[in-house]
Amino acid sequence: MDENILGIIAGFLTSVSMIPQLVKVIREKNVEDISLLMLLVLISGLSLWVWYGFAKDELPIILSNSFAVLVNISLLICYIMYNKKE
């Protein structure tokens, strides 16, 4: 298998992995079980992968991790909007 195809498939699967969680949070408007620290670490790591992708000129890494950053920033925004800590 061509390594670029493998990278695109792997990147696609990891990028869409948080979409079900995002949909659930948006539907229920409940972020009680979401870890803010996990989100911040994940967004940081994904952002570094994007940077690495640019450094290596690897489009599959850039595209998949950029999409994942956007999904997880959306989840972070939902966390901020729906967090009910009193």
Query: 57-67 pLDDT, tens per residue?
Result: 998 899 999 99
pLDDT at position 67, please? 94
Burial state string for 55-77 with b = 16 or more CB within 10 A and e = fewer than 16: eeebebbbbbbbbbbebbeebbe
In contact, 75 and 22? CB cutoff 8 Å: yes
pLDDT at position 6, please? 87
Please state, in angstroms and rounded to a whole number, the distance separating the CA atoms of residues 86 and 68.
30
Topology of the domain comprising 3-84: Monooxygenase (1.20.1280)
pLDDT at position 86, please? 54
pLDDT beneath 70, residues of the chain: 1, 85-86
